[in-house]
């Protein structure tokens, strides 16, 4: 167990973190005001440096070299990875492609237009809507600026050595989003992947019905990995080796060994909070911004013109509005008898608590966000009572009427959001060492595989099971538990936690596009590139890749706009959509094939294969 020990120094660093870095709400009002005059840049701008490292930016081929290289800090292949490998770069293209087109036909809308709200998630629509964006291009989909912030004030500075000494707050003041902070990152991801009423990021039930893929439950560490990452985990960054206190603080690397675990746990609390918040925000019928809040009633010619009439219509359309944030599979499942839903009873299900009851047959808020909250609270050593009270209040509102009484949802949400915030703060102040992670894992597994005092097993739904398996994978991998690797992989495969089966096909297709958009005509570097992607922290793989002159010529002469033009040609987007379709079929199949008993059986086997943990 020696590998899990954490130096005493780290405790001090964490203590200093507590003092120095109280949470800042990066996505609240303060962002808008402070950043009003900042400009967002297009991905093309970033590609000038982040397509590939050149010359002495590259890692040294001599393993004994002490000479600092830019690569020690930053990959400099971020743009290339994102553009060819990350579906965020095709977020706009899917709107132009066959799925987006069909959805538009069904909805009677042009989904590429700002007024439908689609662009808010698919092309940084909120930022595009600003008068002067500084060259942001919707064709780039979800591009650099969306996550990293407006770069007009830091673009020049951020490549200088002095930049590294700045605190996250100083960088943030200049417009750089502090994505290394787990909470900041989680809030950013879920603003699209769960939704955000204030930013008009909402997938309505009509959009789902028209063909929008279901939003899968999100576990931030695994989502980041699957994005895929165009950055290295703190452990693999040479610049972070033997970091001093200041560096650790500035880069949030106090616990490099459990960085992903923290991300998952923080993400869990943020997901619950934002899920509740989305529903509560949309239940505010006095809100003066119907266009952002209620796309379902604002789309189409029949929408009333005046705000009060829009608010009234929203109030009457609550069941439709609420469907957008209800648990999809609570209704959308083929009916089986005996089905696990009837066996386990209706309501919210926390593994450690008695069933929180609701009248059977009432659509509920998405319940997967409650699934990992228990893990986060175990780690933070925080009781679940307040959250439970809030969830019970939400259920009471569903007993009042299907989809819940909007007013009671709003009051219950305040309670849950407050409890989540306080748990987030506790977790922030809590040192995550191997002991905590092991304890959390043990207690969590116990909850899921042991009978409760009433003699019943906990029965999670598919999405909750998926979340748990996801966290399990993150934790066991960070703890370095090798004995369960195969079983965990079997479980994550069964629950389709890594859903991009067509990734390589997609990369190949997009590398062809890359070549077409450059002044090169040879794509013989495909295999080297794919090999590099299997481990982006490997200097050997990178050096091998950049030794291919065709790769160099392609990346250096690549024209971002031309890439977008090539990407959006029907022969390309149709093919990409086909890849997506195939993956979606697999995703949906794993949902309909889900069997909670098999899940528990596999979990039990994993638990018994953890000798080191068991003894501890």
Partner 1 sequence: MIIHTNRFKLNQIAIVTLSVVFGFCWVKEIKSAEKDPFSHLGSVSCASASCHNQNLGKGIPFSEYTTYTGFDPHHKAYDSLFNPRSDRMMKNLYATGAGSAATHQLCLNCHSPSQGESSHKTTGFSVFEGVGCESCHGAGSGYIAVHFTPKFLELSSEEKEKQFGLTNTKDLVSNNKMCADCHIGNTKKGMIVNHDLIAAGHPRLNFEFSGYLAQYPKHWKIEKELKRQPDLNAKAWAIGQIDGSRVALQLLQDRAELAGKKNHPWPEFTEFDCFSCHKDLRIDSRKYQSGYGGKPGALPWGGWFNGNTLKIALEDKNAKAFPSEVSLQMNQFGQSPGKVVESCKIAIQQLEQAAKELDNSPFWGKPQLESLAQKLIESGKINEAKYSWDEFTQIYLGLAAIHNSWSDLDPSGVPPEFTKDMVRLKDLLKNVFPNQFDSPKLFEDRFSTKKTIVQTKETFSSVFSSLRIK
* 455 part of the interface to partner 1, by CB under 8 A: no
Smallest distance from partner 1 to CB 402, Å: 5
Angle formed at CA 477 by CA 471 and CA 480, multiple of 5 degrees: 140
Binding partner 1 (rule: CB under 8 A), the pick from 25, 316, 483, 489 is 316
Per-residue binding string, partner 1, 397-416, x by CB under 8 A, is ----xx--------------
Cβ 366 to partner 1, closest distance in Å?
A: 15
The binder of partner 1 chosen from 70, 192, 197, 206 (CB under 8 A): 206
Q: Is 327 in the site for partner 1 (CB under 8 A)?
A: no
Tell me how many degrees the CA angle 343-347-352 measures, rounded to the nearest 5.
85
Candidates 16, 114, 236, 317; binder of partner 1 (CB under 8 A) is 317
Cα(590)–Cα(583) distance, integer angstroms: 11
Burial grade of 285 (CB within 10 A; 0-12, 13-18, 19 or more)? buried
Least distance in angstroms from the C-beta of 405 to partner 1: 9
Query: Smallest distance from the beta carbon of 240 to partner 1, in angstroms?
Result: 43
Question: Which range binds partner 1 by CB under 8 A, 82-90, 211-219, 371-379, 604-612?
Answer: 211-219
Contact 448, 468 (CB under 8 A): yes
Q: Cβ of residue 392: shortest distance to partner 1, in angstroms?
A: 13
In whole angstroms, how close is the CB of 413 to partner 1 at the nearest point? 22
H-only helix segments in 234-306: 245-250, 259-282, 290-293, 295-298
* 106 is a contact residue toward partner 1 (CB under 8 A): yes
Q: Which of residues 337-356 bind partner 1 (CB under 8 A)?
A: 337-338, 341-343, 345-346
Instruction: Report the residue from 262, 362, 428, 466 that binds partner 1 according to the rule CB under 8 A.
Output: 362
**d(Cα 366, Cα 323) in Å, to the nearest integer?**
10
Using rule CB under 8 A, residue 499 touches partner 1: no
CB 326 to partner 1: min, Å: 11
Residue 586 sits in the site that holds partner 1 (CB under 8 A): no
Q: Are the CB atoms for 74 and 49 separated by under 8 Å?
A: no
CB of 584 to partner 1, least distance (A): 5
Exactly one of 72, 421, 584, 605 binds partner 1 (CB under 8 A); that residue is 584
CA atoms of 429 and 444, how far apart (whole Å) = 21
CB 324 within 8 A of CB 205: yes
Under 8 Å between Cβ of 277 and 418? no
Secondary structure of residue 244 in the 3-state scheme: coil
492 interacts with partner 1 by CB under 8 A: no
Q: How far is CA 31 from CA 25, 49, 125, 352, 521, in A?
A: 8, 27, 17, 38, 44
CA distance 496 to 214: 14
Report d(CA 203, CA 195) in Å as an integer. Answer: 7
- Binding partner 1 (rule: CB under 8 A), the pick from 15, 34, 129, 209 is 209
Query: Mask 61-100, x = binds partner 1 (CB under 8 A)?
Result: ----------------------------------------
Smallest separation, CB 210 to partner 1 (Å): 5
Minimum CB–partner distance for residue 314 and partner 1 (Å): 10
Joined together, the tokens standing for residue 359 give 């009248």
Rank residues 436 and 502 by Cβ distance to partner 1 and give the closer one: 502
Kindly state the number of chain residues that form the binding site for partner 1, as judged by CB under 8 A.
Answer: 46
Q: Is 196 helix (H, G, I), strand (E, B) or coil?
A: strand
Between 591 and 610, how does the x/- string for binding to partner 1 read (CB under 8 A)? xx------------------
**Which residue in 224, 272, 231 sits closest to 474, CA to CA?**
224
Cβ distance 160 to 181 under 8 Å?
no
Question: CA torsion, points 225, 227, 230, 236, in degrees to nearest 10?
Answer: 0
Minimum gap (Å) between residue 401 Cβ and partner 1: 6
Position 482 contacts partner 1 (CB under 8 A): no
Is 239 a binding residue for partner 1 by CB under 8 A? The answer is no
How many whole angstroms from its chain centre is CA 33?
26
Q: Which residues bind partner 1 (CB under 8 A)?
A: 102, 105-107, 204-211, 213-214, 316-317, 319-320, 323, 328, 331-338, 341-343, 345-346, 357, 359-362, 401-402, 581, 584-585, 588, 591-592
């Amino acid at each position: 167990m020696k590998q899990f020990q954490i130096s005493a120094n780290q405790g001090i660093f964490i203590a200093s973190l507590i003092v120095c870095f109280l949470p800042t709400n990066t996505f609240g009002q303060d962002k808008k005001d402070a950043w009003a005059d900042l400009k967002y840049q297009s991905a093309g701008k970033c590609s000038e440096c982040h397509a590939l490292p050149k010359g002495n930016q590259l890692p040294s081929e001599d393993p004994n070299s002490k000479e600092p290289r830019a690569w020690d800090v930053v990959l400099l292949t971020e743009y290339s990875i994102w553009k060819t490998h990350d579906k965020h770069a095709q977020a706009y293209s899917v709107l132009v492609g066959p799925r987006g087109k069909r959805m538009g036909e069904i909805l009677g809308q042009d989904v590429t237009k700002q007024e439908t709200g689609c662009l808010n998630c698919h092309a940084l629509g909120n930022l595009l809507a600003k008068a002067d964006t500084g060259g942001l291009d919707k064709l780039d989909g979800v591009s650099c600026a969306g996550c990293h912030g407006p770069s007009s004030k830091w673009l020049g500075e951020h490549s200088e050595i002095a930049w590294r000494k700045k605190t996250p707050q100083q960088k943030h003041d200049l417009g750089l989003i502090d994505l290394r902070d787990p909470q900041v990152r989680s809030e950013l991801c879920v603003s699209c992947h769960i939704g955000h009423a204030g930013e008009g990021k909402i997938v309505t039930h009509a959009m789902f019905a028209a063909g929008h893929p279901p939003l899968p439950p999100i576990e931030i560490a695994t989502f980041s990995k699957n994005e895929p990452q165009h950055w290295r985990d703190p452990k693999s960054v040479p610049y972070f080796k033997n970091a001093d206190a200041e560096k650790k603080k500035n880069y949030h690397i106090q616990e490099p060994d459990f960085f992903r675990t923290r991300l998952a746990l923080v993400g869990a609390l943020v997901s619950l909070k934002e899920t509740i918040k989305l529903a509560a925000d949309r239940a505010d019928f006095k809100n003066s911004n119907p266009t952002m809040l209620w796309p379902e009633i604002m789309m189409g010619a029949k929408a009333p013109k005046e705000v009060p009439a829009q608010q009234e219509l929203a109030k009457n359309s609550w069941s439709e509005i609420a469907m957008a944030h209800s648990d999809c599979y609570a209704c959308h499942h083929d009916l089986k008898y005996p089905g696990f839903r009837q066996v386990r009873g209706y309501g919210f299900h926390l593994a450690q608590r008695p069933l929180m009851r609701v009248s059977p047959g009432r659509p509920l808020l998405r319940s997967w966000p409650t699934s990992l909250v228990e893990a986060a609270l175990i780690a933070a050593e925080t009781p679940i009572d307040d959250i439970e009270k809030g969830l019970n209040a939400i259920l009471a509102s569903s007993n009042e009427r299907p989809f819940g009484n909007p007013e009671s949802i709003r009051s219950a949400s305040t309670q849950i959001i407050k409890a989540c915030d306080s748990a987030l703060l506790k977790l922030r102040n809590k040192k995550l060492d191997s002991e905590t992670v092991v304890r959390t894992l043990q207690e969590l597994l116990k909850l899921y595989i042991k009978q409760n005092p009433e003699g019943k097993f906990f029965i999670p739904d598919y999405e909750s099971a998926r979340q748990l398996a996801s966290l399990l994978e993150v934790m066991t991998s960070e703890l370095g538990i090798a004995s369960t690797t195969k079983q965990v992989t079997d479980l994550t495969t069964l629950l389709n936690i890594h859903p991009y089966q067509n990734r390589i096909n997609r990369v190949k297709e997009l590398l062809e596009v890359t070549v077409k958009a450059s002044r090169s005509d040879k794509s013989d570097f495909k295999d080297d590139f794919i090999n590099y992607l299997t481990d982006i922290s490997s200097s050997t793989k990178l050096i091998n890749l950049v030794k291919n002159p065709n790769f160099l010529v392609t990346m250096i002469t690549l024209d971002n706009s031309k890439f977008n033009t090539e990407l959006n040609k029907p022969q390309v987007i149709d093919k990409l959509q086909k890849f997506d379709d195939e993956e979606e079929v697999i995703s949906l199949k794993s949902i309909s094939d889900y069997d909670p008993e098999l899940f528990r059986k596999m979990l039990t086997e994993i638990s018994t294969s953890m000798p080191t943990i068991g003894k501890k």
